[in-house]
Amino acid sequence: MKTKKALAAVLGMTMLSGSFVVSAPAEVKAADKKLVFWDKSEYVAAYNEMMKAKLDEFAEANGVEVEYVIVPSGDIKQKLAAAIESGNQPDLIMGDNTLVAEYINSDQLAEVDDVLENIDFKENALRYATFNDKNYLVPLSFTAPGMYIRKDKWEEKGLDMPTTWEELKEDAEKINDPENGFYALGLPLGASGGGDAESFVRTVILDFGGRLVDENGKVVVNSPETLAAMEYIASLYEEGLCPPDATTWDDSANNSAWMAGTVGMVCNSGSIISSMEQENPDLLANTQIIQYPAVSADDTSYTLGGANVFGIFETGANTDVAKEFVSYYFSDTDYYNQMVEAMGAMWQPVVNGYDDTDFWNAEDHIGWLKNSENLVLTTYPAPTTGEAATSFTNQACVKAMQQIVVNGVDPQEALDSLEQS
C-alpha cells in the first residue's frame, strides 16, 4: 500500500494540514483564471482521483489554474470557518447537503439556477438544491440508506425478502431468537442527537400516509395514519423484536450490533459495507440490501436520506469559474456515471438516464438504487428551512416514541405531545 506521501507524488499533490492539495499542471500555471476547490475525502480513493482528472481536463481546456484541496470530512467545517474568517474561502466545495447548506444563511453561497437549468436532474434530486425557496446547491449524488437483511437467517426459515412493513414484522417474529442473543431487528430509538432513529420513525410515518407538516409547513401530524405508524413502531420494541437496550442506542450502536452478528436487520448507509469488506467478508456474503418496505404493494416506499452537493461561494474570488466547472463536469454524463459506479453503490445517480444498466440491475446494487428513487429530505414535505431542520435535530418523533415504549404512555397521548413539539 502506498503511503500518503508516495500517493501525493504520483498524483501531483502536496500535503497541507492533513489534507491533499492538488495543483494544476505546470502548463496552465500562468492561466488568467483560477479555481480553488475544497473536496471531501471519500471512502473510495477512485472518487478523488477521478475528480482530479476531470479538473485537470477542465484546466487545460479552459486555461484555468486549479487548486484542488482534499479535506477529511471531519475537518472541513473547522477549516472552512478559519478560511471564511480570514477572507480566503474557496470558490467551490463538495460535501453532504446538511453541511454545505450551513453556509447559505451566512450569505456565503451563490444561487445556482443558471447551472441547474442545463442539467437533466431527477425530480427528487432538485429538492436537495433548494433552501428558503431559492436554489443554492447543485446535487452530485444521492446517499440513500439501505435496509440490510441477514439473508441466511431469512433463507433458514424459507422466507422471501419482505416488501411490506407487516411482512417485515411477521418475518422478524420467525427469526427472532433472544434466548441465544439474536434479535431480528436492530432499530435504534435513542434520543442521542443522531439521525438514524429520527429518520426511521419519520420514514414509517410517511409510508403509513402520515405527515408531520404539509407542503406549506403547517403542522398536520395528528392523524389516524400517524397514530397507526406509531403503534406499529412501538410494537416492534414491546414485542421484543429489537434488543432491550435499543431505546438508548446512538447512531453507532446499530452498526456495532450488525457487525457483531446479533441482529437480523438494520437501516444504514454504505459505510457498513466497507466495514464488512475489511473485517467480516463472511457476513458480507450473507447480507442483502433491499428496498425499504411500503404499507402495501400499491403504496409508496419513502426513504429519508441525504445527498452530496456542490456549493459555489458567492464570496469566493472565482464564482463564475466555479459555475463553469460544475457545468463542465456534468456535460460528460458517461464520466459522471463511471464515477458514481466507482463508489460501489454507496452513491446513486442524481441525473436521468443511467438507472437501467448492468451495474444497477445487479443484486448487490439494485436495493440502493430503489431506495434512492423515492429518497426525500429528512424534513419532507416541509419547505427546507432552518426551522424544519431544527425540528429534525431535536428528535421530536423519537422522543414521542420513547414516551410510548419506555414510559408506557398511551399512543394518542404521545401523538398529542408530538403535535405540540
- Same domain membership, residue 166 and residue 114: no
Q: Is residue 380 part of a domain?
A: no
Sign of torsion, CA 372 377 383 385?
Answer: negative
Element at 37 (helix H, strand E): strand 33-40
Q: Which of 361, 377, 402 is the last residue of a domain?
A: 361
- Same domain membership, residue 275 and residue 416: yes
Mean pLDDT of the chain: 90
Three cell numbers written together for 66:
486549479
- Same domain membership, residue 197 and residue 253: yes
**d(C-alpha 190, C-alpha 394), whole Å:** 12
The pLDDT > 70 percentage for the chain reads 92
pLDDT at residue 17 is higher than 50: no
Instruction: Domain count for the chain, please give it.
Output: 2
Q: Is residue 378 part of a domain?
A: no
Q: In CATH, what number is assigned to the domain containing residue 409?
A: 3.40.190.10
The better pLDDT of the pair 366, 7 is held by 366
- Same domain membership, residue 116 and residue 219: no
Q: What is the pLDDT of residues 291-322, one digit of tens each?
A: 999 999 888 899 999 999 999 999 989 999 99
pLDDT at residue 14 is higher than 50: no
Q: Interhelix angle for 253-260 vs 271-279, to 10°?
A: 40
**d(C-alpha 400, C-alpha 391), whole Å:** 13
Rg of the chain over Cα atoms, rounded to whole angstroms, equals 22
Element at 368 (helix H, strand E): helix 363-373
Q: What is the pLDDT of residues 241-264, one digit of tens each?
A: 999 999 999 888 999 999 999 999
Residue 10's pLDDT band, with cuts at 50, 70 and 90, is: very low
The pLDDT > 90 percentage for the chain reads 73
Q: Is residue 13 part of a domain?
A: yes
Q: Are 58 and 325 in contact (CB under 8 A)?
A: yes
- pLDDT given at position 100: 92
- Same domain membership, residue 67 and residue 37: yes
pTM reported for the whole predicted model: 0.85
- pLDDT given at position 7: 40
Classify residue 133 as exposed, middle or buried by CB count within 10 Å of its CB (0-12, 13-18, 19+).
Answer: exposed
Residue partners of 292: CB distance under 8 A and separation at least 6: 147, 203, 207, 267, 301, 302, 303, 371
Q: Average pLDDT of 328-350?
A: 94
- Same domain membership, residue 190 and residue 325: no
Q: Are 310 and 93 in contact (CB under 8 A)?
A: yes
- Same domain membership, residue 269 and residue 250: yes
| Cα within 13 Å of Cα(313), Cβ side | 20
The better pLDDT of the pair 9, 208 is held by 208
Q: Is residue 235 part of a domain?
A: yes
Name the amino acid, one letter, at 400: A
- pLDDT given at position 24: 47
**Region of poorest pLDDT, from 27-41, 164-178, 227-241:** 27-41
- pLDDT given at position 194: 73
Q: Which of 329, 345, 361 is the last residue of a domain?
A: 361
- Same domain membership, residue 37 and residue 150: no
Residue 21's pLDDT band, with cuts at 50, 70 and 90, is: low
- Same domain membership, residue 200 and residue 189: yes
Phi (first) and psi of residue 125, to 5 degrees? -65, -35
Three cell numbers written together for 351:
441525473
Q: Is residue 82 part of a domain?
A: yes
Decide the pairing of beta strands 33-40 and 64-71: parallel
Classify residue 297 as exposed, middle or buried by CB count within 10 Å of its CB (0-12, 13-18, 19+).
Answer: exposed
Q: Is residue 351 part of a domain?
A: yes
Nearest CA among 148, 114, 51, 74 for reference residue 345: 148
* Domain boundaries, position 331: 4-144+306-361
Phi (first) and psi of residue 270, to 5 degrees? -70, 0
**d(C-alpha 341, C-alpha 365), whole Å:** 10
**d(C-alpha 195, C-alpha 268), whole Å:** 10
**d(C-alpha 241, C-alpha 229), whole Å:** 16
- Same domain membership, residue 76 and residue 30: yes
- pLDDT given at position 383: 73
**d(C-alpha 140, C-alpha 326), whole Å:** 10
- pLDDT given at position 386: 67
Q: What is the pLDDT of residues 50-109, one digit of tens each?
A: 999 999 999 999 999 999 999 987 788 899 999 999 999 999 999 999 889 889 988 999
Place of cell 464515477: 339
Q: Average pLDDT of 191-201?
A: 86
Q: Is residue 285 part of a domain?
A: yes
The DSSP output letter for 398 is: H
**d(C-alpha 90, C-alpha 173), whole Å:** 53
**β-strand partners of 13:** 22
pLDDT at residue 29 is higher than 80: no
The better pLDDT of the pair 378, 330 is held by 330
Q: Is residue 370 part of a domain?
A: no
- Same domain membership, residue 163 and residue 97: no
- pLDDT given at position 12: 47
- Same domain membership, residue 399 and residue 278: yes
